[in-house]
């Protein structure tokens, strides 16, 4: 949640020390958190996820009801929190008294980690946000109720009332899900106070019990990132050098395997986001510390960058395993765990892999990735993507002149360089025909024309109207032309708008618009905008292919229904 509000919060999940948690919530003392809200460690969530299937219904309900919540209490003095029913009117929060924080009882505080208000995503069972049991497992509302979004997607439920008590409100059943999605948004875009410091406090609890946490900077009203057209261009950022150094450090942590590293990387990303939005050149430690999203240790790092132009920690983190696994992960089809496996087998260079050192065996796709390592790690100039597409388009139209073929991805967003070429293929059906069979025919012609050179992933059923192909291509007849990644996505004509929207991105814009759709009670994916979504009663996941298609033919109608102002592809740049 962008802002903690005890009237709607059901659980607080934190592995952070007390001081950090209090800062994140914007309260002075643990006592300021109402007794009906349990403050739990991440272990509670994990215990629910891991054992849910083996729990009896009574055990599961007990877990949700709070009977065993105390086992996972984040703070000793809040062991009983959540075991009492919620009062009708929740107490007010953000007390402004001058009281110093009470003596902190820190003994039981967790020893490591970063707080997370929720890691519950659509793919992770949501144990807390919908645990009241008064939310229907699936929607039975009339379809019409979905078409008109609520005037304010951020409306909260009537305070102190459950959605059951609110049955007269046709939108009430959406609220629990809306809150879950807001938590998600919080995790990705506004986890202000929980920056890298929380993870760097591993084992030290250094800011736990800080009786006078730095006052947070005034909170900005946050809207949906997909609603805004203005984004700060990279070159305009007055703190770009600081962001670059922190990004390097974040990437180093990302490349490592430890849990702490993942948290640190996650946390640095929050600080970096905060810095990107900071309008002035930072001059001092104090100024950095005052930015919401930048904690003490990050502020110290910023001070070091300001004073020396460098960050020693980067050198320290740049250990051999990071270097080697990053090198290996540059091979198409190789992720972190395979890279570590090969590192553990004794491989240190690409030549070691080529030689099969340590018995390492590469898959055919990885072999291709290794062979064209440099090419595939290079972004192509926009003009090259255009040249390749202009070779492909007439060949495609020679198969069927009514074919619709378009480049999506970064090219459509107008980017100067592209990581790959993403091509959409479909066809109007007004004459009773479809594009069935076009993709295999096109691929065969592109191979014959020496435009497509290697296949990486073939569609399961090439004759299906919906198919994805991944391969390599190049500009033929040009000596030394590089191998480039190319994807073909074929979709039914009716789904072209949703596919265009999804594959145009960028990723951050997509995340934001999907979250907004979810909050409005829809589900948005590359196939369309769906209403009447059905959730699996066991884990609350949206059932695949469930729901009623609301829009998919054009991007415009999807924007309109979601209340997102129209944006040209080049205006959808958020990453
Ligand atoms: N996309 C997404 N979620 C994913 C993968 C992709 O939303 N898990 C969307 C957003 C991307 C688009 O698909 O913008 C195309 O994916 P690419 O990986 O090709 O990304 P771009 O084309 O944006 O960038 P690049 O120039 O690196 O290819
Ligand atoms: Mg792309």
* Residue 163 within a domain: no
3-state secondary structure of 557: helix
* Residue 70 within a domain: yes
Interatomic CA distance for residues 334 and 412, integer angstroms:
27
164 labelled catalytic = no
* Residue 468 within a domain: yes
Q: Which mutation among 376, 381, 408, 410 tests ligand 1's pocket best, with the greatest number of atoms within 8 A of CB?
A: 410
Q: What's the Cα-to-Cα distance from 130 to each of 40, 59, 120, 520, rounded to whole Å?
A: 16, 17, 11, 16
Say yes or no: CB of residue 260 within 6 Å of ligand 1: no
Q: Quick one: which ligand is closest to 569's CA?
A: 1
Say yes or no: CB of residue 574 within 6 Å of ligand 1: no
3-state secondary structure of 455: strand
Which ligand 1 atom is nearest residue 413's CA?
23
Check: CB of residue 23 under 8 Å from CB of residue 216: yes
Check: CB of residue 575 under 8 Å from CB of residue 508: yes
Instruction: State whether 516 and 468 are in the same domain.
Output: no
Check: CB of residue 26 under 8 Å from CB of residue 216: yes
Instruction: State whether 326 and 311 are in the same domain.
Output: no
Interatomic CA distance for residues 225 and 190, integer angstroms:
11
CATH number at residue 564: 3.30.210.10
Q: Phi and psi (nearest 5°) for 299?
A: -60, -40
Instruction: State whether 416 and 519 are in the same domain.
Output: no
Catalytic residue among 245, 301, 516, 527: 301
Instruction: State whether 480 and 384 are in the same domain.
Output: yes
Instruction: State whether 442 and 521 are in the same domain.
Output: no
Instruction: State whether 526 and 442 are in the same domain.
Output: no
Q: Which mutation among 382, 503, 525, 570 tests ligand 1's pocket best, with the greatest number of atoms within 8 A of CB?
A: 503
CATH number at residue 238: 1.10.150.110
Interatomic CA distance for residues 266 and 264, integer angstroms:
5
Q: Which mutation among 407, 409, 508 tests ligand 1's pocket best, with the greatest number of atoms within 8 A of CB?
A: 409
Sheet of strand 452-457, all strands in order from the earlier edge strand to the far edge: 404-407, 420-426, 484-490, 467-473, 452-457
Instruction: State whether 354 and 326 are in the same domain.
Output: yes
pLDDT the model gives residue 79 = 80
Instruction: State whether 300 and 230 are in the same domain.
Output: yes
CATH number at residue 348: 1.10.150.20
Cis previous bond, 277, omega within 30: no
Strand residue runs (E) in 335-448: 380-381, 404-407, 417-418, 420-426
Which ligand 1 atom is nearest residue 415's CA?
26
Say yes or no: CB of residue 65 within 6 Å of ligand 1: no
- For ligand 1, the distance from its centroid to the CA atom of residue 503, given in whole angstroms, is 6
pLDDT the model gives residue 197 = 34
* The dihedral sign for the CA sequence 366, 370, 371, 373: positive
Return the number of other C-beta atoms located less than 10 Å from residue 68's C-beta: 14
Last residue of a domain, one of 81, 104, 127: 104
Residue with the smallest CA separation from ligand 1 atom 22 is 409
Mean pLDDT of the chain, nearest integer: 74
* Residue 258 within a domain: yes
Which ligand 1 atom is nearest residue 507's CA?
10
CATH number at residue 482: 3.30.460.10
Sole residue written with tokens 């030549």? 351
Instruction: State whether 270 and 354 are in the same domain.
Output: no
Sheet of strand 528-531, all strands in order from the earlier edge strand to the far edge: 523-525, 528-531, 548-551
pLDDT the model gives residue 260 = 80
Q: What's the Cα-to-Cα distance from 75 to each of 106, 113, 205, 458, rounded to whole Å?
A: 7, 14, 13, 53
- For ligand 2, the distance from its centroid to the CA atom of residue 366, given in whole angstroms, is 20
Which ligand 1 atom is nearest residue 417's CA?
26
- For ligand 2, the distance from its centroid to the CA atom of residue 422, given in whole angstroms, is 5
Say yes or no: CB of residue 509 within 6 Å of ligand 1: no
What DSSP character marks residue 138? B
Last residue of a domain, one of 104, 120, 155: 104
Average pLDDT per 10 consecutive residues for the chain, totaling 575 residues: 80 87 88 89 64 48 52 80 57 34 33 30 28 29 27 32 35 36 37 31 28 35 60 71 93 78 84 91 95 90 95 88 93 92 93 97 97 98 98 98 97 97 98 96 98 96 92 96 97 97 92 85 92 67 73 96 92 84
Interatomic CA distance for residues 467 and 489, integer angstroms:
6
- For ligand 1, the distance from its centroid to the CA atom of residue 530, given in whole angstroms, is 22
* Residue 183 within a domain: no
- For ligand 2, the distance from its centroid to the CA atom of residue 128, given in whole angstroms, is 36
Tally of structural domains, the chain: 5
Q: Please name which of 126, 128, 96 lies closest in space to residue 32, comparing C-alpha atoms.
A: 96
* Residue 171 within a domain: no
Instruction: State whether 476 and 399 are in the same domain.
Output: yes
Q: Tens digits of per-residue pLDDT, 337-386?
A: 899 899 989 999 999 999 999 999 999 999 999 999 999 999 999 999 99
Which ligand 1 atom is nearest residue 510's CA?
7
Interatomic CA distance for residues 4 and 522, integer angstroms:
25
Last residue of a domain, one of 491, 508, 534: 491
Interatomic CA distance for residues 267 and 293, integer angstroms:
9
Q: Quick one: which ligand is closest to 507's CA?
A: 1
Instruction: State whether 201 and 313 are in the same domain.
Output: yes
* Residue 64 within a domain: yes
Interatomic CA distance for residues 53 and 261, integer angstroms:
30
- For ligand 1, the distance from its centroid to the CA atom of residue 408, given in whole angstroms, is 9
* Residue 109 within a domain: no
Show the domain range for 442. 380-491
Strand partners, 422: 487
Residue with the smallest CA separation from ligand 1 atom 9 is 503
Q: Who contacts 416 (Cβ-Cβ below 8 Å, separation ≥6)? A: 381, 382
pTM value is 0.58
Which ligand 1 atom is nearest residue 410's CA?
22
Residue with the smallest CA separation from ligand 1 atom 25 is 419
Q: What is the CA radius of gyration of the chain?
A: 26
Say yes or no: CB of residue 382 within 6 Å of ligand 1: no
Instruction: State whether 392 and 483 are in the same domain.
Output: yes
């Amino acid at each position: 949640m962008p802002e903690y509000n005890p009237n709607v919060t059901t659980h607080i999940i934190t592995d952070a020390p007390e001081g950090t948690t209090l800062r994140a919530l914007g309260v002075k003392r643990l006592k300021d958190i109402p007794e009906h809200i349990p403050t739990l460690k991440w272990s509670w969530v994990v215990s629910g996820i891991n054992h849910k299937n083996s729990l009896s219904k009574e055990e599961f309900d007990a877990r949700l009801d709070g009977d065993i919540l105390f086992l996972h209490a984040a703070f000793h003095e809040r062991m009983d929190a959540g075991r009492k029913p919620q009062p009708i009117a929740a107490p007010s929060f953000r007390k402004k008294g001058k009281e110093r924080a009470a003596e902190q009882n820190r003994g039981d505080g967790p020893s490591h980690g970063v707080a997370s208000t929720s890691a519950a995503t659509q793919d992770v069972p949501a144990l807390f946000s919908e645990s009241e049991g008064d939310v229907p497992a699936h929607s039975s509302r009339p379809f019409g109720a979905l078409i008109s979004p609520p005037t304010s997607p951020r409306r909260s439920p009537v305070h102190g009332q459950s959605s059951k008590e609110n049955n007269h409100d046709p939108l009430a059943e959406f609220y629990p899900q809306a809150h879950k999605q807001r938590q998600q948004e919080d995790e990705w875009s506004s986890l202000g106070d929980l920056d890298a410091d929380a993870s760097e406090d591993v084992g030290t609890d250094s800011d736990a019990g800080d009786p006078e946490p730095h006052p947070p900077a005034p909170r900005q009203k946050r809207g949906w990132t997909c609603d805004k057209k203005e984004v700060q261009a990279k070159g305009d950022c007055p703190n770009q050098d600081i962001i670059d150094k922190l990004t390097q450090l974040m990437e180093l942590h990302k490349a490592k395997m430890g849990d702490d590293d993942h948290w640190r990387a996650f946390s640095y990303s929050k600080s970096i986001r905060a810095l990107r939005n900071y309008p002035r050149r930072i001059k001092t430690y104090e100024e950095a510390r005052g930015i919401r999203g930048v904690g003490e240790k990050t502020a110290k790092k910023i001070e070091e960058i300001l004073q020396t132009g460098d960050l020693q920690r980067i050198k320290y983190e740049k250990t051999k395993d990071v270097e080697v696994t990053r090198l290996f992960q540059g091979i198409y089809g190789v992720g972190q765990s395979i890279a570590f496996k090969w590192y553990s087998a004794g491989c240190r260079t690409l030549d070691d892999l080529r030689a099969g050192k340590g018995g390492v065996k590469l898959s055919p796709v990885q072999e291709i990735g290794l062979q064209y390592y440099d090419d595939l790690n290079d972004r192509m100039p926009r003009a090259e993507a255009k040249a390749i597409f202009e070779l492909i388009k007439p060949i495609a139209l020679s198969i069927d002149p009514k074919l619709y073929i378009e480049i999506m991805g970064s090219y459509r967003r107008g980017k100067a360089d592209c990581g790959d070429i993403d091509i959409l293929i479909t066809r109007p059906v007004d004459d009773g025909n479809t594009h069935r069979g076009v993709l295999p025919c096109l691929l065969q012609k592109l191979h014959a024309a020496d435009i497509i050179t290697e296949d990486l992933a073939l569609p399961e059923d090439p004759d299906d109207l919906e198919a994805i192909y991944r391969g390599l291509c190049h500009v033929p007849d040009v000596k030394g032309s590089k191998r480039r990644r190319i994807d073909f996505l074929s979709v039914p004509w009716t789904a072209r708008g949703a596919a265009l929207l999804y594959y145009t991105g960028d990723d951050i814009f997509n995340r934001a618009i999907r979250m907004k759709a979810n909050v409005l009670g829809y589900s948005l994916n590359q196939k369309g905008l769906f209403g009447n979504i059905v959730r699996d009663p066991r884990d609350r996941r949206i059932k695949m292919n469930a729901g009623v298609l609301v829009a998919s033919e054009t991007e415009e109608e999807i924007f309109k229904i979601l209340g997102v102002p129209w944006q040209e592809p080049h205006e959808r740049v958020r990453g």
